[in-house]
Structure formats: C-alpha cells, structure tokens
Amino acid sequence: MTSTIDIESRGGRTGTTLLEVDDITMHYTTKEGEVSAVDGVTFDLKNGEALGLVGESGCGKTSMALTLLRLLPDNAVIKQGSVRLDGDDLVPLTDEQMRKRRWRDVSMVFQGAMNAWNPVYTVGDQIREALRLHWPTTLTYREETERISALFEMVGLPPAMIERYPHEFSGGMRQRAIIAMALSCNPKLIIADEPTTALDVIVQDQILKELKEVQAELGMSIIYISHDIAVIAEVTDRIGVMYAGKLVELGDTLEVFHRPRHPYAYLLLGSTPSITGPRRKLAPLEGEPPNLLDPPAGCRFNPRCPFATDQCRAEEPPMTDIGGGHQVACWNWEDVPEIGELIK
C-alpha cells in the first residue's frame, strides 16, 4: 500500500470481549538502565474485531505484541498489569503453559517473517510441525495435507505448492504461506506485525484483502501493527496510536482519522498524503521520539508538541474518554484543530 488514506465507516463494535489488556508495563534492562518500552497500556478487543496499532519506529508497537505473546528476550520483564485472553490472565503463566496457548489460541505473523522459513524443509513440512505440536488432537498425514491445502486455498496459494521449498516461492507467496501457518491451529487472535513489509504495493493490497476476507470467514480477531497509516486505515475497526511506549489515542478508525484529538496523531496524519480531496502541502512531523532511558516529565510528546503548556511539561495526562469510546491522553485535546475533509 502507498501511504495514502481512503476509508469508510465500518460500524460499531459488536460481540463479546476476547482480549483485555490492563495497565501492562514492560521494561528492557540494559547496561545504561531500564527502558520503559511499554508503559501502562490498557485496551480491549472484541471477538471478530480488527484493531490497529500505529506509530513511528521505536514507539513500542512490536514490544507490545511480544508482551501479549510472552515472547520476550531475557532482558525484558513485565512490571505490572494483566493480559486476559478469554478471561485467563497470560502474564502469570509458566513458559510451558504459555507455549500451549500460542498457535492454538493466539498466533503471530512476525515482521520480516517471509524470510524466516527454513530453506532445507518444504513449506508444507514446516506447517505440519506446527500442527503436530499445537493441534488439540493427533492428525493423520492425509488430514494434515488436507488441512494445509485448505489453508493455502484460503490465502490464495495453489495447494500444489505444499511440497515446494521456500526458495521456490516469491516474496508475496512466502508471506501468504506465513499467514497460512498462523491460521493453521484456528487461533482466536492473530497479531500481524508489519504483515506486508518489503512487498510491492499490488501484492500488499492483495494480501491485506485476503487477510480481511479470512478474518470475516473465520470470525477471528486481529491486531495489526504498522507504521503505514494506510494499512491501518483500510483493514481495521479501531485504531490505537502509540508514542514512546504509551497508548495516547484510541477509537473508531473513521473517527480517529477524521478527528484526531491527540497532537501526535494529528501531526502524524498531517504528514500523510490523501488520494482524494484538494491538494495540500504536507506538514512534516518534526523532532525525534524521546530516549526511553530517561523520558521527559509530564506528557512524553511535549518536546515536539505545538500545543504544549506548562501543565504538559509537569503532569502526565490520563487516558480520558471524550465520547463514543474515543479516548485520548492529552490535557489540551480540545485545542487540536479539525482535519475534516483533508483526510479521507
């Protein structure tokens, strides 16, 4: 996808709650000190809902995903909070208990995963391994083949490709196969971290449409992670904007893109071209994210914010519901200008 925006309303949220993330905080321990990569993040996700997490590189999106899956490196520690999937808190589970929940209940399409295939095994054999480790019952070889064939057809791959090696797949085909693997054990939730990175725009569009169709067919929930606003706009019901480890805005995709209330979201959208409406000069988002070893006092965005006041530099704003489930962490959200028809 190109970085342009063209979205339509997708209606309200329905269904029961699948995922509840409450005040989750995760730090990395380094030689220089502790890095607050995820700091007090709270959100929920309905069954069948698609949520997008967007922000600049280093804002904590991938760290958030790894925290949800408990796939953290040795120098990472979850300081506080809970991650409830179908009511069960994943944070206190042992590694073995969590291993059993992955793939079967929650799986992930990793960033750059299309290059992660083992070159000496066929793609089909690598998906078979996931089925043998995580499918609730033992499948025969024929049942495994039938399952993988159905998955390949679902993501737009010929079943005949099952017995081929990764080098025989194009980049887009490898990414489709990764998605098939993520779907292999019928998870309730898929986390897709930059699922179309390094693909040309035509293939990106095809894969995103297929993911959307698969989600609708299976009724699963998806969390999309991307720095590309266009990706988030086209495939999600709600969007969360992250900055410096914090969730600073959360709401219906259409509402956030047409009426962002956090200055960071406003400036991020202002730097993105639209394919419709009048031509306009793009406004660059100046400055750099803070050093999370020593984040600024108050709102972490205040050094780059044109609306910052003394209160912003002294007190951290709480996440506040401003109506209709639209939440924002900003003292001066009412001062943020309207974008209106500039972004569609």
CA distance 122 to 120: 7
Amino acid symbol at 136 = P
- Note the pLDDT of residue 13: 56
- Note the pLDDT of residue 344: 43
Extents of the domains making up the chain: 1-6+18-105+187-344
Per residue of the chain (344 residues), give pLDDT as tens: 334 434 444 445 567 999 999 999 999 999 999 999 999 999 999 999 999 999 988 899 999 999 999 999 999 999 999 999 999 999 999 999 999 999 999 999 987 766 779 999 999 999 999 999 999 899 999 999 999 999 999 998 999 999 999 999 988 899 899 999 999 999 999 999 988 877 788 888 888 888 888 898 889 999 999 888 767 888 999 999 999 999 999 999 999 988 999 999 999 887 776 656 666 666 678 888 999 999 999 999 999 999 999 999 999 999 999 999 999 999 999 999 887 544 44
C-alpha radius of gyration, the chain, whole number? 21
CA distance 174 to 262: 37
CA distance 162 to 46: 33
E-assigned strand segments in 124-264: 189-193, 221-226, 238-243, 246-252
Q: Is the pTM of this model over 0.85?
A: yes
CATH number assigned to the domain with residue range 1-6+18-105+187-344, chosen from the 4 options 3.40.50.620, 3.40.309.10, 3.30.70.330, 3.40.50.300: 3.40.50.300
The angle subtended at Cα 64 by Cα 62 and Cα 70, nearest 5°, is 100
- Note the pLDDT of residue 11: 45
Q: How many CB atoms lie within 10 A of CB 217?
A: 9
Q: How far is CA 162 from the centre of its chain?
A: 28
- Note the pLDDT of residue 313: 97
- Note the pLDDT of residue 278: 63
CA distance 248 to 230: 19
Q: DSSP for 145-177, please give it.
A: HHHHHHHHHHTT--GGGGGS-GGGS-HHHHHHH
CA distances from residue 135 to 35, 128, 152, 181, 228 in whole angstroms, order as listed:
37, 10, 17, 12, 34
- Note the pLDDT of residue 4: 42
C-beta of residue 243 within 8 angstroms of C-beta of residue 210: no
